[in-house]
Structure 1
Amino acid sequence: MTAPDQLVSVRYIVDDVQAAVDFYTTHLGFTVRANVAPAFADVVLGSLRLLLSGPASSGARATPEGTPAGRNRIHLTFKDLDAEIDRLRGDGLSFLGDVVAGPGGRQILLADPSGNLVELFEPAER
C-alpha cells in the first residue's frame, strides 16, 4: 500500500522515450526525475510518477506481443477545462473526440506521441 506522502506509479509503454518526455513536460507540467533515453524515463506531476518505458526497457519487454492497450488512462484535473483545451490546441495538439459531460464533470481525451491516453477533467460544481 502506498502511503499518502509517496508517489503513485503508472507505467506507459512508449515508442520514443524522448518524445514522450517532451510531451509530458512541455504540455502537461511534469518534471523529469530520470531520463535514460532511449530505454526509460521517469516524470512526475504532484504524487503521480509516470514511468515511460521504451522498446528496450525491461517494462516493455515484459508485455506479451499482441497485448491490447485497452482504454486505461491517467486522469488530470483542471479548474478550467476550456482554457486548458485552448492552451493545448495553441501548442498544436489535437484531441480524441469532443468534450463529454456527465454527472461528475466534463472531460476530453488527449493521446501522447505513442497513443497512450490522458484524460483532462473538470469536476462538476457541487
Structure 2
Amino acid sequence: MNFASVRIITEDVDRLVQFYEKVLGVSAEHPAPVFAELVVPSCTLAIGHSQTVPLFGTGSAVAADNHSVIIEFRVYNIDAEYERLKPFVDEWVKEPTTMPWGNRAMLFRDPDGNLINLFEPVTEAAIKRFSRRG
C-alpha cells in the first residue's frame, strides 16, 4: 500500500489553493472546478469543495472543522521558510523552535484553520532517522 494524498474539504477552493501554492511553491492541478491537487515529490495535497462530500457518503467530512490533524511538510531550512512565509500567514501558532525529538519546527494555520507544521531535522539522531525515509 502507498500513501496517496491528504484531502482538505473547504468552502473556498480557490482561496485555499492560492495559500498552499505559496506555502509549497508549486502550482495546483485543477481536474475539476471543485477539486485541485498540489503535487510535491513526497505526497499530494488535495483540496475539494464541500460539494464533493456527498460523493463519499453523507457526513463523511465537514469543511473547516479539523481539530485533530496536523499537516506536516519537511523543509531544508526552517528559518528561511519562516521568513518567506511571514508576509502571508495570518495565524502563527509557534515560531521556529527546536523540539525534544530533534526537529526544528514551526506551526501555523491555513485560512480554514487547519494546523500546518513545517519542520527540519537538526539533531544528529533526527537527521539519521529521516535519512532512511528518503
Q: How does 1:1-126 map to 2 (within 5 A)?
A: 1-2=1-2, 8-37=4-33, 39-58=34-53, 62-63=59-60, 69-89=66-86, 91-94=87-90, 95-102=92-99, 103-126=101-124
Query: Does the residue aligned with 1:97 lie in a helix, a strand or coil?
Result: strand
Query: Does the residue aligned with 1:57 lie in a helix, a strand or coil?
Result: helix
Deviation at 1:78, TM superposition (A): 1.6
Distance 1:88 1:10 in 2: 22
Deviation at 1:32, TM superposition (A): 1.7
Q: Contact conserved, 1:29 with 1:45, CA < 8 A, in 2?
A: no
**Bigger fraction of residues in helix:** 2
Identity %: 30
Instruction: Kindly provide the CA deviation profile for residues 44-100 of structure 1, in whole angstroms up to 9, marking residues without a partner as x.
Output: 1113111111121135954266xx5233122111221111101111x3324223333
Q: TM-score, normalised by structure 1?
A: 0.78
Aligned residue pair count:
120
**Runs of 4+ deviating beyond 6 Å:** none
Query: Does the residue aligned with 1:30 lie in a helix, a strand or coil?
Result: coil
Instruction: Kindly provide the CA deviation profile for residues 16-69 of structure 1, in whole angstroms up to 9, marking residues without a partner as x.
Output: 1001111111232133222533x221221113111111121135954266xx52
Root-mean-square deviation (CA, aligned residues, Å) is 2.6
Distance 1:60 1:73 in 2: 24
Q: Report 1 or 2 for greater relative contact order, CA contacts < 8 Å, sequence distance ≥ 6.
A: 1
